[in-house]
Amino acid sequence: MSFDLANLPDADVVALAQQGREPAYRELLRRYERPVFSLIFRMVRDRETAEDLSQETFIKVLNHIDRYRPEFKLSSWLFKIANNVAIDHLRKRTVETISIDGSPHAATRAEIEATSFDVESRGESALEEVESRELGSSIERAIARLRPEYRSCIMLRHVEGRSYEEIAALLDLPLGTVKTYIHRARKELRDALEHLRT
């Protein structure tokens, strides 16, 4: 039996996965591996961790695909789990790491600069170089400085194009809180990018 999986809507692909069709599992992975990985990578800012957490997200979803209810969007379910595993990871991380962009506790630009690493001087590996290039644009750096809750809200809104209501539902937050987070995130990003415009 052959299906043109690429043209089927998510609900139909999930129905095939529920029948134990491996190509349907592969199609779901193909559709969502990048969005899920991007969301988690931008949350945790470490490729290896992001891969592990993305893997955990997909394993959770695909192993419980029989529980999926078609009245909800599959992508919302995936992003909800992805966000939860990323937030859990950030909460559990006991050893504080200092990013190349400076300490997360640095409040002023001077403090950020004082705690920042010079990428060139670290003798970084090729992989690290790619990572820092991937997340190295001004906007990425500005996103990294946001609080995790702001970060997930702003990415779901503007990178994934989700409505405020969807974000509220998938992050289990009141609608007003989501609006506030996005408003504050936009303001912080605008302030962070101001130097580029002057």
- Which residues contact other proteins by CB under 8 A? 1, 18-20, 22, 25-26, 29-30, 33-35, 37-38, 41-42, 50-51, 54-55, 58-59, 62-63, 66, 134, 139-140, 154-155, 158-159, 161, 179, 182-183, 186-187, 189-190, 193-194, 197
Spatial separation of the C-alpha atoms in residues 143 and 185, rounded to whole Å: 8
Q: Which of 168, 136, 139 shows the shortest CA–CA distance to 152?
A: 168
CA Rg, the chain, in Å? Answer: 19
Smaller CB distance to other proteins: residue 60 or 73? 60
Angstrom distance (rounded) from CA 43 to CA 4: 34
Closest by Cα among 128, 184, 41 to 192? 184
**For residue 102, what is the DSSP state?**
B
Least separation, in Å, of the C-beta of 140 and other proteins? 7
Closest to other proteins by CB, 62 or 87: 62
Which is nearer to other proteins, 63 or 121 (by Cβ)? 63
Least Å distance, CB 188 to other proteins, is 10
Which residues contact residue 98 at a Cβ distance below 8 angstroms, ignoring those fewer than 6 apart? 115, 117
For other proteins, the closer CB: 42 or 89? 42
Crossing angle for the helix pair 47-63 and 22-44, to the nearest 10 degrees: 140
The minimum distance between CB 25 and other proteins, in angstroms, equals 6
Residue 121 C-beta: closest distance to other proteins, Å? 25
Residue 104 CB, nearest approach to other proteins (Å): 21
Closer by beta carbon to other proteins, 59 or else 114? 59
How many contiguous H segments (helices) and E segments (strands) does the chain have?
11, 0
For tokens 């992989």, name the residue.
127
Closer by beta carbon to other proteins, 109 or else 187: 187
**Nearest distance, CB of residue 114 and other proteins, angstroms:** 26
- The partner residues of 102 in beta bridges, in order of sequence, read 99
